[in-house]
Amino acid sequence: MALAKEFLGASILERSSLISPSRTIQFHTTRRNLSSPLSTSSWRGRFPVVLKPMAAISEDFRIRTSQPSDRFDLDSTDSAKVKIRAVVTVRNKTKEDLKEALVKQLDNLTDMIGRNVVLQIVSTEIDPRKRGPKKSVEAVLKDWAKKSKVKAERVNYMAEFVVDSNFGVPGAILVTNKHQKEFFLESITLEGLACGPVHFPCNSWVQSSKDLPLGKRIFFHNKPYLPHETPAGLRALREKDLKDLRGDGKGERKLCDRVYDYDIYNDLGNPDKGIHSARPVLGGKQIPYPRRCRTGRAPSDTDMNVESRVEKPLPIYVPRDEQFEESKAGTFSFCRLKAVLHNLLPSLTTNISSKHDFTGFKHLDSLFSEGLLLNLGLHDELLKKLPKVVSKIQASQGLLKFDTPTIVAKDKLAWMRDDEFARQFLAGVNPAAIERMQSFPPKSKLDPETYGPVESALKEEHIVGYLDGMSVQEALDANRLYIVDYHDIYLPFLERINALDGRKSYATRTVFFLTSLGTLKPIAIELSLPPTGPNPNPKRVVSPPVDATTNWIWQLAKAHVCANDAGVHQLVHHWLRTHAALEPFILAAHRQMSYMHPIYKLLEPHMRYTLHINAFARQSLINGDGVIESCFTPGRYSMEISAAAYKDWRFDLEGLPSDLVRRGIAVPDGTQPHGLKLLLKDYPYAADGLLIWEAIEKWVQDYVNHYYSDPSLVVADTELQAWYSEAVNLGHADVSDALWWPKLKNPDDLVKILTILVWLASAQHAALNFGQYPYGGFMPNRPVLMRQLIPDENEPEYASFLADPQKFYFSALPSVLQTSKFIAVIDTLSTHSPDEEYLGERAQPSTWTGDPEIVEKFFEFSAAMQGIEKEIERRNSDPSLRNRCGAGVVPYELMAPSSEAGVTCRGVPNSITI
């Protein structure tokens, strides 16, 4: 009863003065005393603590039914009562369609006749008479119909409860929505308690009871509990809530469901359209792959092993709370509208006009300067044939222009320079592929009987003249040689890729030399074709140019390298290693860890929107005939390349320090700030990334050590162990037997696992995603598809190449249709929405947890992010760092934590939101 006295307070009845209005809720445990989080530290400016005034407990909040005395004993069985007020914050939709407006009016009417939103408080204590948790009498939200016309984004409703004075600590609230329409419940705050407000961060859609056969929704207060610490009154609810989220694994999921389950990637193809639309099933012994969120749709008509498709604009299932919120959906829809217009017009003009290829750089520039339609010479022709379409397009002419990509906004010719080509492997959109050469020449790991000799065509004579007087071995010993090697990942697919219409590719290797200035210069490009093809020389080495002809050949070779890099970036580093690899951990977190679990609370902001964007990708991006297949060189074999890379994926090496060591870019060094010595010192991705990695690791370590002061608690934590075991054994079932999986036996193991997950969801994804349009929006800088091989002197195409090298160059790059379609999509993918939450931020920063000490630590983490941002700004203005500062050089801001909305080439969101 001591805890009950602290919450309800004997002072209520003694009419003594109340505690200070500035006091926040304190949950005391036998484990530790928690300090107040409300000190006014200077680093709080970015995330101010909003303190709500404590509700005064007046005479109206006291009801005495049997004792006339002004005092009573809280431990007695007297029927003294206390009145509690609930402030319920509901987030309104700013736009409603006609159907939603009609349902809203119906709900207003039925609310007045008793079909209300009903709340019930559940205590942390057990009622010994009923052998269950103590519960209040149900109460309804007041004035629902009256406030329905309020146009504010957030509307507060009230409900009042009367409970016994010995009710105990309110630990959960049950919510029943008897309306027809769902609503978004942002939070509930209980006022009228002597301890101050008790917060329930909800952030969830509450479905109508007709769509929620399991009954009432359960919301827990913000106090975290390890499973064994769960108060007796909340144990059954904790188990029930998790059971509801796991579902039964049967049937097709409805859009309003909140069920998290696993499935294989069996929905990428559509065999019902014909064999050309069928795609292999990813996941299983034949083609290992991570698992995705189960939707339970019926199988296709022609293949029982393939799930039927849901094509856009119809929505694909993800658990209701994972769907985009309105502001995010609005931004995404606007960008999608732009993409539709950009895709529609080239598709129409393909049938109307013969101008499929860009005629030159000026032609390409018109996409940004004057608009797609008018300045490609298509307006008059299209006007004659489709006047109504053109009139609609003219009204939206602003949507027909692309913003000038950053790479050419500062220096229009920067993309042509070799130093810029090399710099982008350190500070561009895919800075995670470059490796230090540790031996020369490089060797293949592929089966020589199938793919030919393992030896490279690269010889010392190809590169020794570019090593500033050093021998090859001296350059290797001095850590001056680096390589981007895509030979082994592309070669097994090349024969099939090159048989596709309009696709031509090599398997490339690119060698770089580290100059005395700290920059890289490309010194050789190896281009390999399948040994079984018609080409008598399947391996070719291209060196830096010495004249006009070799300059164009060098530019074409670099374009093929970029096309290889674009495919690996999108399919492996970006999609597989962040989006797909994290989805099982997110599913397992929802299925196995309660909202009250402290580790769930830590991970929650890093899981936001990821399931939805992954579902959208399966529907429109990585699916058969989707954007990736349409725009990238591998075409229909794109996801098979991704699956092939999964065989070499290792979770234990996904952390930044381990990855840098694996690639030979860094070596362990205990004297350095991060325990690593970078061998490439001016490597913006690594240098800035290590700052963020260290801050994440410290935040996670402080958090974990707070709750697991005894190492044995990690093994004893049933929910934590079930989460990790399920993520590995079900979510990554095809590689679950690998010996490299980290163990989870102590706090250090947990810190390592969580730091990797937070890193991948935030900084790693930001570095790989938000530079796509700034760098890739200008197609010659980063072509994602090549349509011509480089002719040699004995081929008939060589004469055409010599006659007009620029025309040949553009005939090798993507067409107008492919270019406009691709840059419209990456414009969307590179955009921050207005509701983005960045690393160091989170909703309700002072109340997301009821643990004040953790709130303090979080604000320290926020301050660290601000410090990192200032350091990145300083580095970007340091002229000695030539890979991020110089004339026409794009500063490296992809790791700068904050950003404005839009395409900014900066900002680190908490989670994979796009």
Residue (of 540, 485, 536, 529) closest to 505 by Cα position? 529
Distance CA 95, CA 82 (A): 40
Distance CA 488, CA 473 (A): 24
Looking at 765, 876, 910, 912, which residue is catalytic? Answer: 765
The answer to whether the peptide bond before residue 224 is cis (omega within 30 degrees of 0) is: no
- The contacts of residue 73 (CB under 8 Å, 6+ apart) are none
Looking at 342, 573, 574, 606, which residue is catalytic? Answer: 574
Judge whether 199 counts as a catalytic residue.
no
Looking at 222, 270, 769, 883, which residue is catalytic? Answer: 769
- CA distance readout (Å), 365 to 51, 380, 769: 53, 20, 24
Residue (of 652, 626, 619) closest to 738 by Cα position? 652
Distance CA 408, CA 782 (A): 12
Residue 307 is encoded by which pair of tokens? Answer: 């799930």
Judge whether 379 counts as a catalytic residue.
no
Distance CA 358, CA 355 (A): 8
Residue 119 is encoded by which pair of tokens? Answer: 């709340």
Residues 207 and 182: beta-carbon distance below 8 Å:
yes
Looking at 179, 569, 579, 597, which residue is catalytic? Answer: 579
Residue 546 is encoded by which pair of tokens? Answer: 């010495």
Distance CA 599, CA 815 (A): 49
Judge whether 573 counts as a catalytic residue.
no
Residues 783 and 814: beta-carbon distance below 8 Å:
yes
Distance CA 166, CA 173 (A): 18
- CA distance readout (Å), 549 to 88, 546, 781, 804: 72, 8, 20, 11
Q: How far apart are the first and last CA of the chain?
A: 49
DSSP 648-674: T--GGG-SHHHHHHHTTSEEE-TTSTT
Distance CA 478, CA 679 (A): 10
Residue 325, judged by CB atoms within 10 A of its CB (0-12, 13-18, 19+), counts as middle
Residue 500 is encoded by which pair of tokens? Answer: 């596709």
Distance CA 902, CA 228 (A): 45
The answer to whether the peptide bond before residue 313 is cis (omega within 30 degrees of 0) is: yes
Backbone angles phi, psi at 722, to 5 degrees: -65, -40
Residue 515 is encoded by which pair of tokens? Answer: 């100059």
**DSSP state for residue 832 in the 8-state scheme:** B
- The contacts of residue 501 (CB under 8 Å, 6+ apart) are none
Q: How many residues does the chain have?
A: 914
Cα angle vertex 575, ends 569, 580, to 5°? 150
Distance CA 164, CA 120 (A): 14
Give me the torsion for CA of 291, 293, 294, 300, rounded to 10°. -80
Judge whether 487 counts as a catalytic residue.
no
Angle of helix 326-352 relative to helix 816-829, nearest 10 degrees, comes to 180
Sign of the torsion formed by the C-alpha atoms of 773, 774, 778 and 779: negative
- The contacts of residue 432 (CB under 8 Å, 6+ apart) are 573, 659, 685, 764, 767, 768
Distance CA 677, CA 301 (A): 57
- The contacts of residue 8 (CB under 8 Å, 6+ apart) are 74, 82, 165, 166, 167, 193, 194
Residue 549 is encoded by which pair of tokens? Answer: 């002809």
**Side-chain half-sphere of 762: how many Cα atoms within 13 Å?**
34
Judge whether 574 counts as a catalytic residue.
yes
Give me the torsion for CA of 820, 645, 786, 622, rounded to 10°. -30
Give the residue numbers marked as catalytic: 574, 579, 765, 769, 914
